Chains A and B, each alone.
Chain A
Amino acid sequence: MKNSLKVERAKHNLTQAELAELIKVTRQTINAMELGKYVPSTVLSLRLAAIFQVPVEQLFQLEETDWS
């Protein structure tokens, strides 16, 4: 799964640590999500979408391999 967290974070001028505090996770979790090492739960995805005020599909997109 691809995500545009880093882009949205840059648009909102937030550091990983600041975003982490806003959505109540650790900075490492933000880092792992941005690097594609961790796929967040629906709740966390919705929290991110709420912070960035975008639909969740704009933050996360399926890839071909997600169907296999």
Chain B
Amino acid sequence: MKSSYLLAYSCKKWGWVLLIFGAVLGLVVLNLDWEPDVFNLVVPVIIDNPVMADLVIFRMQEQNLLDEMLGGLVIVGSMMVAFSKEKVEDEYIAKIRLDSLAWAVYFNQGLLFLSLFFVYGMSFLWVMIFNLFTLTWFFIARFNWLKAKMNKSRRDEE
């Protein structure tokens, strides 16, 4: 079964490493509001809308990039976990993958819909920040749960 959008099977374990490292360190950095100077870098900013200052469009400016880098690791790691081939790739696993993706979109958007009505203020900002990553995470959870269920399915007489 050839799928043009899948990465090599070996990418999966490296994806988990990046995802776990980025997520754990990211949560620590967010909680401590940690911004070490070594990560202060000048970057081309497309748009910045600071509180109590003018809107900035297309400018080189210094930013602390630690949380961006960790967020990037989580995105890349999640995608590597989500879209790496299985050891044996066949059409049934491809179907389960696509079904899980559809399920994850429904679930993610459902939660987002509920959050729109029931979460307000800064808490909603946190919902949006987490929502940057959750679609892939829900997909990974659903896909792996279905795979585990499939593996547990009754073994036939050998």
Spell out A's residues near B (CB within 8 Å). 6, 15-17, 24-26, 28-29, 31-35, 38, 40-41, 44
Contact = CB atoms under 8 A, between A and B. Distances in A.
Interface residues of B, number: 14
B158 interface: yes
Most chain-B CB neighbours within 10 Å: which of A28, A29, A34, A44? A28
A35 B154 CA distance: 10
Interface string B76-88: 0000000000001
A25 B157 contact: no
B58 to A, nearest CB: 50
B49 interface: no
B91 A44 contact: yes
A4 B77 CA distance: 43
Contacts of A28: 92, 150-151, 153
